Chains A and B, each alone.
Chain A
Amino acid sequence: MAYETFTVDIDSDGIALLTIDLPGKSMNVWDAALMREFGQFVDEFCDNDDIKGLVITSGKKSGFIAGADLTMLAGGSVSGDAASTMKDNFENSFTLNRMFRKLETSGRTAKELTKGTAHAKPVAAAVNGLALGGGLELVLACHYRVAADNPKIQLGTPEVQVGLLPGAGGTQRTMRLAGIQNAAMLNTQGKPIDPNTAKAQGIIQEVVPADEIVQKAKDWVKANPKTSQPWDKKGFKIPGGGGAMDPRSVQFFMAANAMGQRETNHNYPAVQYILSCLYEGSIVPFDTAIRIESKYFTKLLTDPQAQNMIRTLFVNKQAADKGEQRPKGVPDTPLKKIGVLGAGMMGAGIAYVTAKAGAEVVLLDRELDYAEKGKAYSIKLVEKGVSRGKLAKEKGDELLARITPTTDYNDLADVDLIIEAVFEDPGIKADVIKKTEAVIGKDIVFASNTSTIPITNLAKNSERPDQFIGVHFFSPVDKMPLVEIIVGEQSGDKALAASLDYVRLIKKTPIVVKDARGFYVNGVVMPYLNEAMLMVKEGVNPALIENAAKFLSMPVGPLALTDETSLELGYRIMDSARQEEGDDYQPTGVEEFLDHMVNDLGRLGRKSGGGFYQYPENGEKFLWPDLAEHYPHAADQPSLEEAKERILFAQLIPASKCFADGIVPDPQSADIGAIFGFGFAPWTGGPMSHIDTMGVDIFVQRADALAQKYGARFAPPQLFRDLAASGKSLYEKAA
């Protein structure tokens, strides 16, 4: 039989070598074609007596199999076919499990194999490179597993990261090979392991040089003409314990269940389902266990949550990373040397990520001391990386050699792009723009990292406003994955293309937003943090506010975040806005509160002796006990659910306003920006996905109810009312 997704060569001993090599793809993935053909081959393998054994490998240098085709899974089905009933969905989800089970049993029953009245034909995997998700699960279904001796090879089941579980026997075979605890780590955390670790755990039997993997696999197949998996042998026991009812496992599950709840806050059902697959699967026979696994998988896959996560965290993020918003037809921007203006906290971070990406950096500040201090930040990060073994000493030295601190504008003469990150003062910025444009090439794009000054205003200082654009980083620059590209009124395609090329170079995720106060991310974060302060002012117990956010799986509570960014900064921004805007200033309701906290109580923030929290030198932070004296707890406290809804909508509403006002162009960007910009509850797939999942009409209803209760700021934008009336979702409208 001829196949398109792999080749099959049968040698003189009757041993087939199946080499997976998806046509036209850089990486093997489980797509509909491979699944169909592999199933056909498994049937042929079982039926054809001339085939005595099998070795499976990959024809791609990029690895073995990278997992399932996520675009296909985003549709909520394994085979790509939509099923109407849960039972049909289960049958779809069970496809790989059925196929792999047949592969490892040669179609014999567990009873026959256990009794020894039948045997399976030997199957070995020759793993040349990364095997993730369904890729590793195929490897596990082989009787013998040989991997190339390369510590960079990733073996793992990362499904949990998109809200799924390894649904092709992964939970069951990792547990039966490596024990419950290793299986739980691998599957609930989704972090891959290297071949030697996998060997130590019993997941891989042999680690050999890359050019020997196929031969070693063949040798084993030839030497073992009749075989079966350990779990199809009599007396099989799960390594390290006899299943979930073993006293050792009882302790483990008690702790794992609590830790699972601590990590997920009940927002990611995949973690519980993985633990359930292990618990239940350890008690029942293998054939029952994989059906249970596929049932839990089906539950996750058919839930909008996993689809939202796959869509935002992978499909749309990858599209954004590849420069989906980049204007077509503009030639690639050469980015060999970048001028970074201002060596403060942001400039220093930008210099580091740029040099790390391989570009030369001219790091300019008005005093050489400042510029050197900016470079010192990179030195610190490099030393940390080297000491932790994450960065080779030479690579680190090369990185640092690429950063040249200076005070001389003439050093910018041959840069390919300017990133400006000087003090947030229009006067200073105007001066820097003028001095820079005097020396740089006429076609060089000038990107400003301003966070508070409109780009269109700054561009007035530029002689080439069409080459002027905003590139807004988040702090700390080396950790935060998002960059907002701010298109001013006159910013042209060249500026947009160059800034997107740059963001791609430094491997961050861009969203393209309009020039409005706070842009998108801060346009959502500021009202959210204000809402938390309003709650404190009203007498809501601060612990409840913080917990409400944490239980939504926000990375930190809003009061802790305010402490980080500092109340003092919040006060200054508010105060300057109030002065600048005069009569146009729209009060937020926290003006007096901030004034009192900062100026009367001296609670400036984390770095200035504490804000909402106290920060003891040797210990965990705790809420400032005296806060209750100044803002006593009200007798009537909201329930946890009420607090959570208020905290959630305090983010959903400003995000929806930004979308309605066109500050973000589409729901995709709004979702990516919120999750990667400020850690908005990733399990939702982003605020727009979440609104779609709850239903736009429900969102409008709840927002109206909250507006009634807490104030007009919660009222939903008209666009959402219209959408609710039309019955369409945000993503449908955008499509």
Chain B
Amino acid sequence: MTEAYVYDALRTPRGKGKSDGSLHEITPVELASQTLAGIRERNNIHDEIEDVAFGCVMPVGELGAVVTRTAVLTAGYPQTTSGIQVNRFCASGLEAVNIAAAKVKSGEADLAIGGGVEHMSRVPMGADGGAWATDPAAAFSTYFVPQGISADLIATKYGFSRDDCDAYAVESQKRAAKSWSENRFEKSIMPVKDVIGEVVLDHDETVRGEADMQSLAALKPSFAAMGAQYGFDAVALQRYGELENINHVHHAGNSSGIVDGSAAVLIGNEEAGQKLGKKPRARIKAMASIGSEPTIMLTGPEFAAEKVLARAGMTKSDIDLWELNEAFAAVVLRFMQALDIDHSEINVNGGAIAMGHPLGATGAMILGTMVDELERSGKETALVTLCIGAGMGTATIIERVN
């Protein structure tokens, strides 16, 4: 089968996902458009891109009507470049990269872009409604609980205390701050500009390197009231009858931040790279998605990782770097526990607890982060994965080429 290579990856800085965030004034289409334009300009692309897949988890309102196609056109690509919007909840960005890679591998396309966009300050979570949580037939049969309850369920079931989660979060903030101070993201970061061409944001806006155990201890658990009053704790226990109650350990400081952002990854076969005069940076070695128990919801990465390793004919020890989206501290702690991974090998540059999780874009962002980090550290292989709503997991293994 044709190999799919990563030729370039870039992302916007992540802006605080509220009305006082720096990216709030930038339209969602413009945010997507700037990363696509960035890729086009950096790689001297004309009409070579055959398809663009962008993840987007709230594809309604300003992000509706296949935002990818709109952004392709506003970014100055020719009308012959098509676009598709992809939704696999939090792994949408990685899934979009996988779709682009699959198109290349299968021979459908020579050169494609995978990426994503989310503008959480303007199109908030929940804006798309959906049957899962609200249609009684669906909610009852799936034992629906919100993700925060699932994260607290993971902590309870697998024995992670509030302190364990907070300590993880403090380390994530430290690593993100250090990475920024050492310019580790400089290859991929593309500052966002406003309508008059001024830079509105050139760094991840939510990093708090000074966060410590004391400052986090002051934060109240985010999901305790919801769990007790609305009955979500009871629903979770109905699936996990071995637990007496749910220990609510997650809060704003040890969960992923709500942010705005976009990312794009340029993927092609060998010839397409040669035509552009670009050297491949990494090879997409294997990809996989799985479904897992939907109430605990966020344990999928463990199974996705196992599956993608098996598909690649690799074992755990073949992976040099692990990158798991920091949706909630307990998600990463459980993954490390299940696969026996040391913290020094995973999320080495910090993650979404510090820098934020722009839902549809994150997967593409962290894949790009791994490409940069493999080159910086001289390591060979990385496994990128994310936990996903309704109990799924998506994973991709990349190999450094140069």
Contacts and interface: CB of A to CB of B under 8 A. Distances in A.
A253 B134 contact: yes
A478 to B, nearest CB: 29
A541 B242 contact: yes
B126 A250 contact: yes
A123 to B, nearest CB: 32
Interface string B210-250: 00000000000000000001111011011001111100000
A279 B230 contact: no
Contact of B129 (A250, A255, A257, A276): A250
A544 interface: yes
Contacts of A544: 241-242
A262 B139 contact: no
Interface string B244-286: 1100000000000000000000000000000000000000000
Contact of A257 (B134, B229, B245): B134
A346 to B, nearest CB: 33
Which among B129, B134, B135, B231 has the greatest number of chain A C-beta atoms within 10 A? B134
A253 B241 contact: no
Nearest to B243: A543
A279 B129 CA distance: 13
B234 A266 contact: no
Nearest to A546: B244
Chain B contact residues: over half helix, strand or loop, or mixed? loop
Nearest to A275: B136
A256 B231 CA distance: 9
Contact of A258 (B235, B244, B245): B235
Interface in A237-259: 244-245, 247, 249-250, 253-259
Contacts of A272: 136-137, 140
B382 to A, nearest CB: 36
A193 interface: no
Interface residues of A, number: 36
Nearest to B149: A258
A643 B241 CA distance: 9
Contact of A543 (B134, B140, B242): B242
A369 to B, nearest CB: 43
Interface in A215-263: 244-245, 247, 249-250, 253-263
Nearest to B232: A258
B25 to A, nearest CB: 24
Interface string B141-173: 001111000000000000000000000000000
A276 B134 CA distance: 10
Given A544-B241, A544-B242, A262 B234 contact: yes
A261 B234 contact: yes
B133 A253 contact: yes
Contacts of B229: 255
A702 B235 CA distance: 28
Interface in A253-304: 253-263, 265-266, 272-273, 275-276, 279-280
Interface string A632-650: 0000010010010000000
Contacts of A546: 244
B231 A640 contact: no
Given A261-B235, A548-B241, A551-B241, A279 B135 contact: yes
A188 to B, nearest CB: 10
A210 interface: no
Nearest to B139: A257
Interface of B: 126, 129, 133-137, 139-140, 143-146, 229-232, 234-235, 237-238, 241-245
Given A245-B129, A280-B135, 17 more contacts: A247-B126, A249-B134, A253-B133, A253-B139, A255-B231, A257-B133, A258-B144, A260-B140, A261-B139, A261-B234, A261-B238, A279-B134, A279-B136, A543-B243, A547-B242, A551-B238, A623-B244
5 contacts: A249-B134, A253-B135, A263-B231, A279-B134, A543-B242
Interface of A: 244-245, 247, 249-250, 253-263, 265-266, 272-273, 275-276, 279-280, 541, 543-544, 546-548, 551, 622-623, 637, 640, 643
Closest A-B pairs by Cβ, 5 of them: A262-B231, A262-B234, A257-B139, A275-B136, A547-B241
